[in-house]
Amino acid sequence: MGTVSQFHDSLRPPAHRIESEEEAIFTARDLAAAFRRQASERDVNRILPHAELDALSASGLTAITVPPEYEGLDVSNALLAEIVAIIAEGDASIGEALGNHFCVLETIRTQASEDLRTSLFARVLLGDRFAATAFADGTDLTAEGPGYRASGRTHQAPGILFADWIAAAATAPPSRPVTLYLACGDDNVQVVDNWDGFGQRTNGSATAIVAELHVNADAIAPAPASEYSTDISLGLLLKAGVSLGIARAAWSDLLSAIGDHSAVLTPLGQHAVRIEMTAAALERAGRKLDIAQVNSVEAAIADAHFSASAAAILAGDTALGTANALFELAGEISAGIGLNLDRHWRNARIHALSLPRDKLLRTAGGHMAKLGEA
């Protein structure tokens, strides 16, 4: 029975409590360095990083966005994006799973009832991990007692294989958008490892199948009506963080693969500038999202969404451009199968596919046109 009061005992050690933003950055860099050592091997053999995700939980890094009133640190969004980029530079798949987790925490903050926030944030502080997805068409959700009975399957989403909880968007009858918080340890929840992408191969993407699962009302929250909600903007910002991490990883391998840098200083400079511009875009979008979370008026929320969209699009282009440059500038030496340098391009390409680029561009155009008319 899916209910927030049905907490399962974790086999992981108690999570450390990170006390400052400086400690959060230091922890992220330390973990990323460890993740980087076997990232290529995990990609080649599709070895899922369960131990690495447990290390993230134990470090306390997965809890850094819990609000202070729930005993968390609540780091700034610019710093959060940088932390995701740092982890993604070490291993892009782990960075993507971490980004998805943080998006759920923002959804809990903005949507959940006080009791639900208290319960779930307490689990986060203990090291529990979350993944966001949505139920596919055809899911049966019927009223049953103080809640609903659900049968169906979710869309594939990163991080589900590593999650303790799944935040699944659904439509309750007659047409009410809600989010159901499902405990992955429930006997009526089956997680299927069905990801076969050629990039982001170990990001924990999976599908959840639920069968006659009762979800209590205390594990359900209303979904936001606005398409510019802060959890959507945060999702875009953290997608940008993953892309920035991929670009930095490709850049590092590019420098290692080139023997004589002096022959290609101009193109190297071009890519270095793009990476720096991307980092600046993430920082700007993070600051705007900070404002929108504190002052949730329509104009601030729309502005944060515009900046996060711009950062996500720019970061995706930068990741692909840097991964391409790795082969263009390093030449044949970079093509060896044993080096596995193509994983940067594969990761960037697959990660970019989940970004609704055309929709974001249309929305951005409308936003700027509206500002021009004001």
Q: What is the 3-state secondary structure (H, E, C) of the chain?
A: CECCCCCCCCCCCCCCCCCCHHHHHHHHHHHHHHHHCCHHHHHHHCCCCHHHHHHHHHHCHHHCCCCHHHCCCCCCHHHHHHHHHHHHHHCHHHHHHHHHHHHHHHHHHHHCCHHHHHHHHHHHHHCCCEEEEEECCCCEEEECCCEEEEEEEECCECCHHHCCEEEEEEEECCCEEEEEEEECCCCCEEEECCCCCCCCCCCCCEEEEEEEEEEEHHHEEECCCCCCCHHHHHHHHHHHHHHHHHHHHHHHHHHHHCCCHHHHHHHHHHHHHHHHHHHHHHHHHHHHHHHHHHCCCHHHHHHHHHHHHHHHHHHHHHHHHHHHHHHHHHHHHHHCHHHCCHHHHHHHHHHHHCCCHHHHHHHHHHHHHHHHHC
Res. 161: pLDDT tops 80:
yes
pLDDT digits (tens, 9 = 90+) for 340-360: 999 999 999 999 999 999 999
Confidence of residue 10 (pLDDT cuts 50, 70, 90): low
* Separation of alpha carbons 238 and 105, rounded Å: 13
Tell me which amino acid residue 328 is.
E
* Separation of alpha carbons 260 and 61, rounded Å: 39
Mean pLDDT of 128-136: 97
Res. 1: pLDDT tops 70:
no
Spatial contact of 351 and 316, defined as CB atoms under 8 Å apart: yes
Phi, psi of 73, deg, nearest 5: -95, -40
> Average pLDDT, whole number, for the chain?
94
Spatial contact of 253 and 326, defined as CB atoms under 8 Å apart: yes
Q: Which residue has the higher pLDDT, 61 or 373?
A: 61
Confidence of residue 7 (pLDDT cuts 50, 70, 90): very low
Res. 238: pLDDT tops 50:
yes
Q: For the sheet with 147-153, list strands across it.
A: 140-143, 147-153, 207-216, 189-192
Mean pLDDT of 140-148: 93
**Angle between helical axes of 298-330 and 357-373 (0-180°, round to 10):** 130
* Separation of alpha carbons 312 and 219, rounded Å: 31
Confidence of residue 4 (pLDDT cuts 50, 70, 90): very low
The two structure tokens encoding residue 279: 């980092």
pLDDT of 11: 64
Domains of the chain, start order: 21-222 (1.10.540.10), 230-373 (1.20.140.10)
Beta bridge pairs of residue 133: 168
Which residues 6+ apart lie within 8 Å of 357 measured at CB? 313, 316
pLDDT digits (tens, 9 = 90+) for 44-53: 999 999 999 9
Res. 59: pLDDT tops 80:
yes
Instruction: Look at strands 165-172 and 130-134 and give their pairing.
Output: parallel
